[in-house]
Amino acid sequence: MVIQTTDAERQAGTEQQAGAAARRQAVRVLAPLAVDVAVPLGVYYLAHKAFGLDLVASLALSSVVPAVRTVAGAARDRTVNGLAALMLAVNVAGIALSFLSGDPRLMIAKDSGISSVIGLSVLVSAFGARPLMSAGLKPFLTRDDAAREAAWDRLSVGGGRFRGLERRFSAVWGAALLAECAARIVGAYTVPVETMAWLGAVMLVGAIGVGAMASGTATEPMKELLDAEVRAAHRRPAPASAPVAA
C-alpha cells in the first residue's frame, strides 16, 4: 500500500524542520553568552563570597573563563580570529594592570574597552563592504535551507533594499554595544565595585535585549524579502538545456 503525503502534511513537516533549525541556531547564539556572562559572574561570587578572595583577585578569576574559551576556540579552529585575539589581549592587560595598581575599578572598566572595540568595529563595518553582524544573521534567517541561502546570496549583491537592511542591522548592534560601553565606564567609577560586579553583566544583557528589539526593524523586512525571493525563484523557468549536437 502506497501512503500519499498531502500538501498540508508536507507543509507541516517543512515548518517543523524550520523550527528545529531555528532552535539549534538560538542555542548556538545563546551558549557563548552564557559562558561569557553567567559563568564569570558565578565565578566572581564563588571566589569573593565563598572563599573570601579580595575584589581584584575575584574579578581576575572571573575573566579566566572567557579567556580560556578564546584560546580553545583558536586551537580548535586552527585560525586566529583578530577580534577574539584583541579581546584576549585587553583581558590580559586589564588583569595585569589591576594587580599592579590594586584598583578593582580598572578591572571592571577594562570590559568596556572590549565592548567599545567590538561596537566600533561593528558600526564601522556597517558602512563597508562586509557588515560584521551578517555572518551571524545569515544562518539565523536562512535556517539551514539551501533555497533561502541562495536567495540571501542573490539579494545581498549590489545596493538594493536588502543590502541596506543588512547594513542597518550591524549599525544598530554597533550603537547598542557602544552605549553599553559608555554606561559601564561611568558605572565603574561612580557605582560601588561590588554592585558593578553584577550590574555590568545586567548592562550587557540589557544592551543585547535593546539590540535584539531595535534590530527587528531590519530582520523582519529581510525575512519578507527572502520569502519573496524564494517564491520568485520557484516561479522562474528552468534554464534551457544546450542542444545536443548531431
From CA 140, how far away is CA 145, in angstroms rounded? 10
pLDDT at 112: 76
pLDDT at 168: 95
CA 209 to chain CA mean position, Å: 12
pLDDT at 208: 85
Closest-CA residue to 90 (of 98, 100, 78, 102): 98
pLDDT in tens, the chain (246 residues): 455 556 555 555 555 665 555 556 555 555 665 666 667 777 777 877 777 777 777 777 777 777 777 677 667 766 655 556 666 666 676 667 666 767 778 777 776 776 787 888 889 999 988 888 888 889 889 988 899 999 999 999 877 899 999 999 999 999 998 998 899 889 989 999 888 888 888 888 888 889 989 999 999 999 999 999 999 988 877 665 555 555
**What nine digits make up the cell of 9?**
502534511
What is the chain's Cα-based Rg?
23
Asked if residues 230 and 147 have their Cβ atoms less than 8 Å apart, the reply is yes
pLDDT at 187: 92
Kindly report the pTM of this predicted structure: 0.69
Name residues whose C-beta falls within 8 Å of residue 108's C-beta, 6 or more positions apart in sequence.
59, 184, 187, 188, 193, 196, 197, 200
Closest-CA residue to 177 (of 227, 139, 123): 123
Name residues whose C-beta falls within 8 Å of residue 96's C-beta, 6 or more positions apart in sequence.
none
